[in-house]
Structure 1
Amino acid sequence: MELGTIQTKIEENIATVVFYHPASNSFPSSLLIQLTNEFYKLSSNKDVKVIMLQSEGEKAFCAGASFDELLMIENKEVGIRFFMGFANLINAMRTCKKLIIGCIQGKAVGGGVGLIAACDYVIATEKSAIKLSEFFIGIGAFVIEPAVTRKIGKTAFCQLSMEATEWHSAQWAQEKNLYAKVVVNKDDMLDEAAKIAVQLSRYNPDALIEMKNVFWEGTENWDDLLKERAQISGDLVLSDFTKDALTKFKK
């Protein structure tokens, strides 16, 4: 259970993918790999037209990277491999042939914000505040920046990065186009997500695939770009400043 779980259910051409980790739905490497592989499998599944992505629980959608695993990184190769987990996940979502609807029921931090940004359409609750705390722990949101900036723009990304200790409300995220809709609670969010998923599942699947390609035009260099960003993070996570900050933050 400490490694987390990925559960997928397919009904009437809609795949519902639910991830879980006891530490506020954070991501150790193993869980990143599982979710990445799940998107690749669903991309080629002819019985699936639309994917709904959500996490378990009420309070946190995703707390980003596993702090325990970050603290265990002892060399650059391991560091790069860890951050490539997020790079590979974003690229798997980007190249997935199926439209991905993000169902956000709670707060998201760091890599969790990147996961949201990699969705094609997002519905969130009023409790779904976001934060990029990477500066506070001695690194930066390098790997997820292209995905986040694509949605909210460079200026808003700079604000999120520099205000590393501040939560930004769901309304703020909607105003910046990270969220398409904000509703009152989780039940409303799931209802809204299901409605659009059903609607999309009735459309021409070839049209959906072609439109997904249009949505992500201009990102063809991300395989190389996100690898470069993972290398930056892999260097920074080894610094004494980051190690000390991670230890204090965890306490």
Structure 2
Amino acid sequence: MPETGYVSSHTEHGITTIEFFHPKSNSLPLKMLDELTQEIHYAGNHDTRVVILKSAGDNAFCAGASFDELSAIKNEKEGQNFFQGFANVINAMRKCNKFIIGRIQGKCVGGGVGLAAAVDYAIAINKTEIKLSELSIGIGPFVVGPAIERKIGTSAFSQLAIDATLWRNADWAKKKGLFAEVHETVQNMDESVYRLANSLAHSSPEAIAEMKKMFWKGTENWDALLNERAAISGKLILNDFSKNAIEKFKLKIK
């Protein structure tokens, strides 16, 4: 596996699997965010019936934003550009006219929770935990917030956003509607992912496209909304609190 990470995809029997990997707990630098956006757009516009979004490895599903890139941001334009990467991925998932199944095999942090919320059907393993850590580094879950709030409601979203250091387990996430299914083993999780993918691959593409529009009704303004939210995060990440918090975190994980 490349040390800088990768995004890959392949299509078989009408099922497109998009996989991402980064050596730092599957965190996402801007380059990988852009590649994810491109792969999701491609799947939505080509001969694919259903999409599976997954990450490599058996630990974290996604640790969110790359802390190396966050610490390197020097001005508001760079900050907005970085967080726009997450906005673009979420909007690509929203606009994709195919159902996206999320295979959630481990911890989700920050933007990783956003990805899990933006898939149309998330299937997880019981060891999975989630956390919105943004407030602890001086920002907030502004860009991913709409996707999470849409899926689990304002109350549960606010609980995650306010208590930014507390992990919630997979049962909590399932009860709130973030996960559709939680399984005891990876094998059971994968069997369920591919059972559903195969079923959808033999379903009507036209019906799926119309259902997708129905499920995402009311999000038509998200291109502008998430861009505005990216600007907020891009400004906040420059403050001293954020810079110090990120450096402390990077030292802790070394």
TM-score bin (small chain): over 0.9
Q: What are the Cα deviations for residues 12-64 of structure 1, in whole angstroms up to 9, with x where unaligned? A: 10111111000000000000000000001111112x11001110111100000
Query: Within 1, Cα distance between the matches of 2:62 and 2:127?
Result: 13
Deviation at 1:112, TM superposition (A): 0.3
Query: Within 2, Cα distance between the matches of 1:4 and 1:97?
Result: 27
Are 2:88 and 1:67 aligned? Answer: no
SS at match of 1:10: strand
Query: Within 1, Cα distance between the matches of 2:186 and 2:212?
Result: 27
Unaligned runs of 5+ in 2: none
Are 2:21 and 1:20 aligned? Answer: yes
Alignment of 1:1-251 (within 5 A): 1-46=2-47, 48-251=48-251
Deviation at 1:194, TM superposition (A): 0.2
Query: Within 1, Cα distance between the matches of 2:4 and 2:143?
Result: 22
Deviation at 1:3, TM superposition (A): 2.9
Aligned length: 250
Q: % of aligned pairs identical?
A: 53
SS at match of 1:16: strand
Q: What are the Cα deviations for residues 153-185 of structure 1, in whole angstroms up to 9, with x where unaligned? A: 010011001111110000000000000000012
Query: Within 1, Cα distance between the matches of 2:37 and 2:203?
Result: 26
SS at match of 1:15: strand
- Contact kept in structure 2, 1:3 and 1:31, CA below 8 Å: no
TM-score, normalised to structure 2, is: 0.97
Deviation at 1:116, TM superposition (A): 0.6
Amino acid at match of 1:163: D
Deviation at 1:88, TM superposition (A): 0.5
SS at match of 1:122: strand
Unaligned runs of 5+ in 1: none
Amino acid at match of 1:200: L
Pairwise CA RMSD of aligned residues?
Answer: 0.7
Amino acid at match of 2:174: Q
TM-score, normalised to structure 1, is: 0.98
Query: Within 2, Cα distance between the matches of 1:186 and 1:232?
Result: 38
SS at match of 1:130: strand
SS at match of 2:168: coil
